[in-house]
Amino acid sequence: MNAAATPMIETERLGKTWPGATRPAVDGVSLRVARGTCCALIGPSGCGKTTLLRMLNRLVEPDTGAIRLDGADALRADPVRLRRGIGYVIQNVGLFPHRDVAANIATVPRLLGWKRARIEARVDAVLSLVGLDPAEYRHRNPRQLSGGQAQRVGVARALAADPPVLLMDEPFGAVDPLQRARLQVELLRLLRELGKTVVIVTHDVEEAVLLGDSVAVMRDGRLVQHAPPAALLAAPADDFVAAFLGADRLLKRLALLPAEAAIADPPPPPDTLSPGTHPPGAHPSGALPIGASLRDALAAMLERDARALPLAGGGVVTLESLFAAARAAPAAGPPDGRPASATPGMAGGAALD
Ligand SMILES: Nc1ncnc2c1ncn2[C@@H]1O[C@H](COP(=O)(O)OP(=O)(O)OP(=O)(O)O)[C@@H](O)[C@H]1O
């Protein structure tokens, strides 16, 4: 198996039963996360998401099974050294309150024995990466940060030693919805740029399908489905997964598919194209702009009371073609959720279909 094909993270029948518990918190989970991709772990409260995540950096020791990171046996590694090579971001950040932002971010580089100048340059670089001006924030105390800023510092700290793997446990759980949406979009951009391999625990299906190249659904300690988001939303493995994804799962899926995925063939007759009134910012011809999703197309149809819409890039989407694309069964993807396209899991999930 060549290096590119080796999953960055791989668990094999991983299990953990907490002392005194009657059943395992994690029960025989085999999960593969491809290099440079993001796997979102979802499932009901208590299903074992955090326990599984914390076994990956050995904050929790498994009872059974194997963990391989970049092909190497993680259970034979020294756990402290292992953790220095894995970024970890948790809800409520866990910043050291008595250290300023710079000292918090410098934690792992210091432990790794980096020289002072290298650490200072790195602190500034990662602060800039997460959108905080180093001059303004470097010497702030964690108490002088908003929830969203503190969360950004938490991400900067996790990135400080440039680890290839990042584990995130509900990183935006304590942030207000507006900040949360901004942080999600920024994080998505950052992760793509840096090519990190990420496992993110969330209870929010929308967040999982936005951030994940693949989504792993857990129930009672077991992994019940692991698939690219558009595939998961189109074809949940069973009634439990379908119920967990929500009755609006096909609507959620529309946001992942580019409008081009539903070009009507043959195109409808021109007289069915009713340009209607154009919402502010719409393409002057009334066509849907390039990069729009099928959800945007549906919104524009509702807004304009139209059953068909031209696309700026050519072609026409009709209500019928949109419905068909929303329900179309995706081609079976590889089990590790590796996206088929060269651009891993860009928000336009068509690349995954
Ligand atoms: N340190 C611990 N000691 C004993 N039991 C634990 C411990 N941590 C978790 N558990 C138990 O293991 C099971 C799985 O918990 P875990 O936190 O992994 O679930 P989760 O899916 O992350 O839940 P949530 O979404 O509520 O955070 C639960 O029954 C929980 O009570």
Q: What is the CATH classification number for the domain harbouring 181?
A: 3.40.50.300
Confirm or reject: Cβ of 42 under 6 Å from ligand 1.
no
Find the largest Cα–Cα distance for the chain: 71
Residue 328 near residue 257 (C-beta atoms within 8 A): no
Q: Give tens-digit pLDDT for 161-193.
A: 889 999 999 888 767 777 777 788 788 788 878
Tally the domains of the chain.
Answer: 2
> Are both 158 and 267 inside the same structural domain?
no
What is the structure's pLDDT at 184?
82
Closest CA to ligand 1's atom 5: 18
DSSP result, 209-243: HHH-SEEEEEETTEEEEEE-HHHHHHS-SSHHHHH
Shared domain for 289 and 224, answered yes or no, is no
pLDDT score of 340: 35
SS3 71: coil
Tell whether the model's pLDDT for residue 339 goes beyond 70. no
> What is the DSSP code (8-state) at residue 202?
-
| Burial of 115 (C-beta count, 10 Å sphere; 0-12/13-18/19+) | exposed
Band the pLDDT of 294: cuts 50, 70, 90.
very high
The CA 25 to ligand 1 mean position distance, Å, reads: 7
Tell me what pLDDT residue 121 has: 93
Q: Over the stretch 69-89, which tens digit does the pLDDT of each residue have?
A: 999 999 999 999 898 889 998
* 278: pLDDT strictly greater than 80: no
- Domain identity same for 230 and 263: no
Q: Would you say residue 333 lies in a domain?
A: no
Residue 46 CB–ligand 1 contact under 6 Å:
yes
Give yes or no: residues 186 and 48 share one domain: yes
Shared domain check, 306 and 175: no
Residue with the bigger pLDDT between 238 and 330: it is 238
Residues 212 and 241 in one domain: yes
Distance CA 69, CA 165 (A): 9
Query: Residue 96 in contact with residue 59, Cβ under 8 Å?
Result: no
Please choose, from the candidates 112, 17, 22, 8, the residue with its C-alpha nearest in 3D space to the C-alpha of residue 60. Answer: 17
If you take atom 12 of ligand 1, which residue's CA is the nearest one?
25
Whether residues 236 and 274 fall in one domain: no
91 and 236, same structural domain?
yes
> What ipTM was assigned to the predicted interfaces of this complex?
0.98
In a domain, residue 336? The reply is no
pTM exceeds 0.90 for this model: no
Within-domain flag for 335: no
Residue 285: what pLDDT?
59
Average pLDDT over residues 273-300: 71
Q: What average pLDDT does range 275-280 have in this prediction?
A: 46
Burial 61-78 (b: 16+ CB within 10 A, else e): ebeebebbbbeeebeeee
**Residues 74 and 189 both lie in one domain:** yes
Domain span at residue 186 reads 3-248
Q: Omega into 266 within 30° of 0, i.e. cis? A: yes
Residue that terminates a domain, selected from 248, 280, 308: 248
Distance 163 CA to ligand 1 centre (A): 26
Residue 343 belongs to a domain: no
* 233 and 149 housed in the same domain: yes
What amino acid occupies position 163? Answer: P
Across the chain, mean pLDDT equals: 84
Residue whose structure tokens are 């940060």: 145
Q: Which of 14, 27, 50 to mutate to test the pocket of ligand 1 (most atoms within 8 A of CB)?
A: 50
Is the pLDDT at 24 greater than 70, yes or no? Answer: yes
| 317-332 mean pLDDT | 82
Are 270 and 232 found together in one domain? no
Report percent pLDDT > 90 for the chain.
50
- Name every residue whose Cβ is closer than 8 Å to that of residue 129 and which is 6 or more positions away in sequence: 156, 159, 190
